Chains A and B, each alone.
Chain A
Amino acid sequence: MTDRSSDRSSALHAGAWWVWALGLATAASRTTNMLLLALLTGVAGYVVAARRTDAPWARSYGAFLKLGLAVIVIRLVFAVVLGSPIPGTHTVLTLPEVPLPEWARGVRIGGRVTAEALVFALADGMKLATLLICVGAANALANPARLLKSLPGALYEAGVAVVVAMTFAPNLVADVQRLRAARRLRGRPDRGLKALLQVGLPVLEGALERSVALAAAMDARGYGRTAQVPPAVRRTTSALTLGGLLGVCAGTYGLLGDTGAGYGAPVLVAGLAAALAGLWLGGRRSVRTRYRPDRWGARAWLVSASGAAVAGLMIWAGDYAPAALHPSAVPLAVPGLPVWPAVSVLLGLLPAFVAPVASREGRTASREGTMTDGHRRAGRRGLRAAAAEEGCPGPALSPFPGAAAPAPGGRTRGLRPGLPAPPAGAGPSGGLGALPQETGRGGTGAPLPPPRRPATDSESGGAETAPTRKETPQ
């Protein structure tokens, strides 16, 4: 807890990580040179290893790596089984060919498998896998929920839906595991596909119940409060947003395709501008404010610039060294490592040196985690840490050190001694000095602010700010 090097105030903006990762992904989409692709994967992997935290989302990197491997394997299997349009002379093996009727002409199952086709499929699969791994790197380095927090106000509700969905997926997996294990208790086999299928309905029921409970909780916490806006503004918002998004799609298509670079950039910029204007207007409907938004500082500029540089240099390399970026599969050739594109890929390592080091406090966190319920990935060390954290040293024999148990005290009993003391200069009365005043205000019969007003306590906010904790004299 002493190492605050990567706490919230100094953490890198989530958007910077995404710009960096998408830069690498763009570079990956521009080449089929396996050495360059491997280098890109290595760069992304090194940065993740150097700078990721131990939060649950950071552990997803392994899953993306596996997904990438799966993509390569599937691509190869398809090339082997379904054949490939790539002509080749080096036959590796010949599978028995399935005779197909006349109407299925052009489709081939089995037959000759050539080395050229395999190499081509491997390079193609690696390209896709590298793209996925770059996205996985962003996902591991930046909390996806924090990125969504940086969305404009108009997209906020959609963002919440995504966050909720993301937290539900792990819950669903845990449910499936728990229920499958419970089948054993009924004397039914707990492994195999049938076991998985039979718990489907109870799992879905549970997920539905949880969603309803969450919806109730969100409603009770003020989700969906809106402000009134004139209809003209609403219509302009829709037009700008829709038009802008179409422009963004067309522009991106142009940029990513090898041919349309000419019109791609201007259409993308215009679309982005229109969409942003629409979002800004749409944000007026929302009464929300934002808590400690991520700051885009010098480090964020450096990190995102390194990603953009990798992408830009690789696109440029496509002009000056097209042959090196796309080594030919027919005839077979050993791909060389072109020096300048390789050096430009290495620029992507910059974040490993400029981004703040992740505090490893999350590691204890994950140990302690989830011990309370079904999915126990937890350990005892974390518990001890938590006990120490909460100031409960105690005799080794009592598993509840510091617990006063069903209180042997009267109604006026004070605080449990185990509660951490407020920081120096802030006793219970001083530290919260502002609060009783404020709550007292309502009690004296002062008229309540109407519920629909955006900032419900803007005026009390002013009154409150005067006695902050540090200034309160003891």
Chain B
Amino acid sequence: MIRFENVSVSYDGTDRPTLSGIDLTVPEGELCLLVGPSGVGKSTLLGTVSGLVPHFTGGTLRGRVTVAGRDTRTHRPRELADVVGTVGQDPLAHFVTDTVEDELAYGMESLGVPPATMRRRVEETLDLLGLAGLRDRPIATLSGGQRQRVAIGSVLTAHPKVLVLDEPTSALDPAAAEEVLAVLQRLVHDLGTTVLLAEHRLERVVQYADQVILLPGPGAAPVVGDPAEVMAVSPVHPPVVALGRIAGWSPPPLSVRDARRKAASLRERLAPLTPPVRGTVPGEEQAASVTGLSVRHDRVPALRDVELSVRAGETVALMGRNGAGKSTLLRTLVGMHAPDRGAVRVGGVEPRRTSPRELLRHVGLVPQEPRDLLYADTVAAECAAADHDAQAAPGTCRALVSELLPDVADGTHPRDLSEGQRLALALAVVLTARPPLLLLDEPTRGLDYAAKARLVEILRGLAGQGHAIVLATHDVELAAELAHRVVILAEGEVVADGPTAEVVVSSPAFAPQVAKVLAPQPWLTVPQVRDALEGT
């Protein structure tokens, strides 16, 4: 269905090609997963299929890409619109109209599909994606998972033979990600659609793939093959594969189910051991306390009667579905929202009544979109501004950046940094004032496993120095690695609060893969298991 013949792509101003030596075929009706570390050209490869690379983005494409027999060199994206459906990373950037039904019809209207056919396909797609109840809704009012499904539906109505998706589940909570993956499964199984998708959160998707394309490094030739074979050698892999490698299972399991069937002997070996305690033990000093907090947005309650206390050196993970109030709680802690009732104290001050300059010394928040924090046009200027804002000695911020990002030049524009680098820069800017309480909102969105591992090390180091850390996240693996305590929010209320092992192991949605494989034993992460086995 998709053929790449010796394809290489290079952009102007770079000395080496972004992609090279791509020579492979994606057969019809397969779900093909594209994996690799950040910055290896996954999005570029996806772009070549829809013709956006090079027609829209510029750059030079050598070789040939054919989709359903059409050569992308001679067909512009709009002329491929009836065979390729593309959904980018941010579904909001994809929507042209303002209601669900119009959005589903938009692509067909452009293609000139007869009205009767359009009407029928819209109805079919509404049922197929479970959107029938949302048909008249303005798109701005949909939740993240619903938006992603509408975006998929909007390209599906044109009946493309190929569906190209860039990180469809990265920004979604586990339940919404399940919704989207169920839809993709259904397309592949029932309609024979060819799906090519790139995703960092492999633990969510790898078990559904028929074929995996691994891009090991920038410009390196791809490794193509059966998911299990590729995962056995891949530098990026889900925890369940890492567990398989430690236990010496070959081929490595891809799903929790596969792993559980092989795990009987591992469970026996681990039975006499207790999980080692990693990281530091939190102190007694209180870093933040929230009592009886209620917050409203436009008279609609966002938080209700929330109680939370964080001690110095403690890491707390806030979890819950999109819109449960996690970000609101973090923002209330830095005084961006006024409490309706209740009290918020951070390091002895009340955030809402404290001037920003003073508050900086008590609490720092890295927002969901780290670039919101960055205003300057070079890293050096950003650091100088941060030193000035925090009244820190000149060079403080730059030293932190060098520690977190060893190889970033002073003159780099913050927008040219990768997702992980930008996060590290924002983190350095916030840390310049040395706040005892550090808040992070969804820090792993768009990060690959290596960047995530680095982030875990950094945060663990900060906790060791006595920083209290609160992170709001959908990433159950991250929470399992880092958090001493997990707090689960639902509809603005705290529904669970306790040590990580107790809270996540008992929950089907929040249990990390290792916990599911080794249940009922209380193991959470691969490093725990590895350390315990090495100790014996």
- A residues with a Cβ closer than 8 A to B are 1, 7-8, 55-57, 143, 145, 149, 160, 163-164, 167, 170, 178-179, 181-190, 198-199, 201-202, 205, 210, 213-225, 287-292, 359, 361-362, 365-374, 376-381, 383-384, 386, 389-390, 392, 396-400, 402-411, 413-416, 418-420, 422-423, 426, 428-429, 431-432, 434-436, 438-440, 442-443, 448, 451-452, 454-458, 461, 464-465, 468-469
Given contacts A380-B491, A428-B186, A457-B159, is CB(A167)–CB(B81) below 8 Å?
no
Decide: B70 and A420 in contact? CB cutoff 8 A: no
CB-CB under 8 A for A456 and B111, given A186-B386, A216-B56, A408-B256: yes
Other A-B pairs beyond A216-B56, A431-B128, 14, CB < 8 Å: A56-B140, A56-B141, A185-B364, A186-B386, A220-B81, A289-B112, A371-B323, A380-B491, A383-B143, A392-B175, A435-B191, A443-B29, A451-B82, A468-B120
Interface residues in B436-477 by Cβ distance below 8 A to A read 476
Return 6 A-B CB contacts under 8 Å, by A number.
A183-B356, A187-B390, A400-B321, A408-B256, A431-B127, A439-B193
Question: Are B192 and A439 in touch, CB under 8 angstroms?
Answer: yes
Interchain CB contact under 8 A, B93 and A213: yes
Q: How many A-B residue pairs have CB under 8 A?
A: 392
B212 to chain A, nearest CB (A): 12
With a cutoff of 8 Å between Cβ atoms, the chain B residues found around residue A392 in the complex are: 175
Residues of chain A contacted by B182 (CB below 8 angstroms): 415-416, 419
Instruction: Please determine whether B56 and A219 come into contact, CB atoms closer than 8 angstroms.
Output: yes
CA distance A415 to B161 in the complex (A): 21
Complex Cα–Cα for A271 and B41 (A): 55
Whether A288 lies near B112 (C-beta < 8 A) is yes
Cα A187 to Cα B240 with chains together (Å): 42
Determine if A397 and B98 form an interchain contact, defined as CB atoms under 8 angstroms apart.
no
Chain B residue total in the interface (Cβ 8 A): 155
B133 to chain A, nearest CB (A): 5
Q: Is B105 an interface residue (CB 8 A)?
A: yes
Asked if A432 meets B124 with Cβ closer than 8 Å, knowing A399-B488, A410-B207, the reply is: yes
B23 is an interface residue with CB less than 8 A from chain A: no
Q: How far is the CA of A295 from the CA of B402 in the complex (A)?
A: 64
A-binding segment of B328-336, B339-347, B403-411: B328-336
Inter-subunit contact B161/A405 (CB<8 Å) = no
Residues of A within 8 Å of B114, CB to CB, are 289, 455, 458, 461
Q: Which residue of chain B has its CB nearest to the CB of A368?
A: B141
| Interchain CB contact (< 8 A) of B113 among A365, A399, A457 | A457
| Nearest B residue (CB) for A219 | B77
What's the nearest-Cβ distance from chain B to residue A348, in Å? 27
Residues facing A in B129-150 (CB within 8 A) are: 130, 132-138, 140-144, 146-147
Determine if A380 and B192 form an interchain contact, defined as CB atoms under 8 angstroms apart: no
Residues 262-279 (chain B) with a chain A CB within 8 angstroms = none
Contacts A289-B108, A291-B109; A163 near B78 (Cβ below 8 A)? no
User: Across the interface, do A422 and B127 meet the contact criterion of CB distance under 8 Å?
Assistant: yes
List chain B residues, Cβ under 8 A from A361: 136-137
Contact indicator B256/A406 (Cβ below 8 Å)? yes
A219 and B70 alpha carbons, distance in the complex (Å): 17
- What residue of chain B has the Cβ atom nearest to residue A397's Cβ? B495
Complex: how many Å from CA A411 to CA B327?
Answer: 35
Whether a CB of chain A sits under 8 angstroms from the CB of B298 is: yes
- Complex CA distance for A367 and B415, rounded to whole angstroms: 34
B208-A411 in contact (CB<8A): yes
Q: Which residues of B contact A213 (CB under 8 A)?
A: 88, 90, 93-94
Bound together, the chains give a CA A63 to CA B157 distance in angstroms of 37
Question: Across the interface, do B96 and A187 meet the contact criterion of CB distance under 8 Å?
Answer: no
A408 touches B255 (CB 8 A): yes
Q: Tell me whether B423 is interfacial, beta carbon within 8 Å.
A: no
The chain A residue with its CB closest to the CB of B115 is: A289
| B110-A167 in contact (CB<8A) | no
CB-defined contacts of A455 to chain B, threshold 8 Å: 111-114
List, in ascending order, chain B residues with CB within 8 A of A202's CB.
371-372, 374-375
Q: A386-B143, A400-B175, A403-B509 are in contact. Are A7 and B491 (CB under 8 A)?
A: no
In the complex, the answer to whether A410 meets B69 with C-beta atoms within 8 Å is: no
Complex-state Cα separation, A404 to B511, whole angstroms:
11
| B159, A438: Cβ atoms closer than 8 Å | yes
The reply to whether B68 and A448 form a contact with Cβ atoms under 8 Å apart is: yes
How far is B98's CA from A160's CA once the two chains are assembled, in angstroms? 11
Answer whether A389 and B127 are a contact pair too, CB < 8 Å, given A184-B356, A400-B173, A408-B516. Answer: no
Instruction: Say how far A445's CB is from chain B's closest CB, in angstroms.
Output: 9
B178 touches A407 (CB 8 A): yes
Contacts of B55 in A (CB 8 A): 219
Is B429 an interface residue, CB under 8 A from the partner?
A: yes
Docked pose: A414 CA to B97 CA in angstroms: 33
Q: Is B324 an interface residue (CB 8 A)?
A: yes
Which chain B positions have C-beta within 8 A of A368? 141-143, 323
B residues in contact with A399, CB < 8 Å: 319-321, 324, 488-491, 495, 509
> Is B37 interfacial (CB-CB < 8 Å)?
no
Report the 8 A-B pairs with minimum CB-CB distance, sorted nearest first. Answer: A371-B323, A379-B300, A222-B81, A369-B141, A399-B490, A291-B105, A403-B175, A187-B360
A439 touches B191 (CB 8 A): yes
A291-B108 in contact (CB<8A): yes
Given A190-B356, A220-B86, A435-B191, answer yes or no on A403-B508 (Cβ-Cβ < 8 Å). Answer: yes
**Closest residue of chain B to A291, judged by CB?**
B105
Set of chain B residues within 8 Å of A55, measured between Cβ atoms:
138
Chain A: minimal CB distance from B230 (Å) = 15
Query: Which residue of the partner chain A has the closest CB to B201?
Result: A406
Residues in A with CB closer than 8 Å to B321 are 383, 399-400
Within the complex, what minimum Cβ distance (angstroms) separates B368 from chain A?
8
Of A184, A215, A465, the residue contacting B334 (CB under 8 A) is A184
- Point out the residues of chain B lying under 8 angstroms from A410, CB to CB: 207, 255, 257-258
B430 at the interface (CB under 8 A from A): yes
User: A369 to chain B: which residues have CB within 8 Å?
Assistant: 138, 140-142
Q: A397-B496, A398-B509 are in contact. Are A178 and B132 (CB under 8 A)?
A: no
The smallest beta-carbon distance between B435 and chain A, in angstroms, is 10
B28 lies within 8 A of chain A by Cβ:
yes
CB of B117 within 8 A of chain A? yes
> Which residues in B have their C-beta under 8 angstroms from that of A198?
375
Contact, CB under 8 Å: B323 / A221: no
B304 partner residues in chain A, CB cutoff 8 A? 380
Whether B322 lies near A186 (C-beta < 8 A) is: no
Among residues of B, the one whose C-beta sits closest to the C-beta of A403 is B175
Is A404 a contact of B508 with CB atoms below 8 Å? Answer: yes
Rounded to whole angstroms, the CA-CA distance of A358 and B327 in the bound complex is 34
B45 within 8 A of A: no
A225 and B111 form a contact (CB under 8 A): yes
**Which B residues lie within 8 Å of A407 (CB)?**
178, 181, 207, 255-256
Contacting pair B191 A220 (CB below 8 A):
no
> Are B102 and A145 within 8 A (Cβ)?
yes
Q: Indicate if B492 sits at the interface (CB-CB under 8 A).
A: yes
